[in-house]
Amino acid sequence: MNSIIDSLNEWLREMLITGTVSNLGGLFDSVNEEVSDIAVQVGQTPAAWNGGICNMIRNLSVNVIVPIAGMILAFVMTLELIQMIVDRNNFHDFDISNIYKWMFKTACATLIVTNTWNIVMAVFDVSQSIVSDASGIIVGSTTLDFDRLIPDLQLRLEALELGALMGLWIQSFLVGFCMKALSICIFIITFGRMIEIYLVTSVAPIPMATMMNREGGHMGQNYLKSLGALGLQAFLIIICVAIYAALVRNITVTADISAAIWTCMGYTVLLCFSLFKTGSLAKGILGAH
């Protein structure tokens, strides 16, 4: 009877050891892949990220949004002229130079609306240049390597009791599931930012049409702040990845397998949270609403 129980225990131990090694072997692969791809994703301009989508957004902006922006511009500048005339007591106290000022503002506003796409792309060209320079300076290796953290993993697992192996297998399974979810979160944050950029740039001519108006100009100013925040967000994301890389490098070798698993997961959760906060932080820095 004892031999049967011993054989069963040995079989369970072998199964749990094999399962745990398998779980831990690919535990961080998905996260490592997504994190290593962050710098590439945020360092690209909208045109470089996906030329097909960028051309579609540009055509929509030029052919659909610009005519609407033109009507808004006509209304805004006409209202500007009426207000200017009324403010001067219906031409009784009116300086003719104000007409030239109005004409100059209208010409500048028209120039801005017709060149909105170039202005918007210039913001992300500058952002891409900053990110490229920063990536070469501050970003190091972001790879979580469990073999480095727990050397001789197989031997350490063989030294554990059946209950400890069962608990460790459950932990490795749960953490592996969480890591898959975290890698999806990182994917959503990095790719979602690019989708947001396309959405924001598609309607750019409309807020830009209000830039030269005294009362409605805050719409265009807030839009430029939001645009700058999207560009600044890329730099903040790179800093988050650099901090994560520094934390990963400083993880020490430990004999506690469970502690190593949860430490690595904690750093990954911290990275996801930091990436999520970069958007609101960038808007707060630039005062965008």
Kindly give the confidence (pLDDT) of every residue in the chain, 289 residues in length, as a single tens digit, with 9 standing for 90 and above.
556 666 667 767 777 777 777 777 777 777 778 887 887 888 888 888 888 889 999 999 889 999 998 898 888 888 887 777 776 655 556 567 777 888 888 888 888 888 899 989 988 888 888 888 777 766 566 677 666 667 777 777 777 777 777 888 888 788 888 888 888 888 888 888 899 999 999 999 998 888 877 766 788 888 888 888 888 888 888 888 888 888 877 776 666 777 777 888 888 888 888 888 888 888 888 776 6
- For 191-232, the DSSP string reads HHHHHHHHHHHHTTHHHHTTTT-TTTHHHHHHHHHHHHHHHH
C-alpha R_g of the chain: 29
Q: Does 15 map to a domain? A: yes
Q: Does 51 map to a domain? A: yes
User: What is the tally of structural domains in the chain?
Assistant: 1
Q: What DSSP character marks residue 252?
A: P
Q: Does 104 map to a domain? A: no
Q: Does 85 map to a domain? A: no
CA 182 to chain centre: 14
d(CA 112, CA 106) in angstroms, rounded, equals 10
Residue 273's domain comprises 2-67+115-286
Whole-prediction pTM: 0.83
Q: Does 103 map to a domain? A: no
Q: Does 107 map to a domain? A: no
Q: Does 10 map to a domain? A: yes
186 within 8 A of 80, measured Cβ to Cβ? no
Q: Does 27 map to a domain? A: yes
Instruction: Residue count of the chain, please give it.
Output: 289
Angle at 229 between CA 68 and CA 218, to 5 degrees: 50
- For 80-145, the DSSP string reads HHHHHHHHTTTTTT--THHHHHHHHHHHHHHHHHHTHHHHHHHHHHHHHHHHHHHHHHH-------
Q: Give Dmax over CA atoms of the chain in angstroms.
A: 114
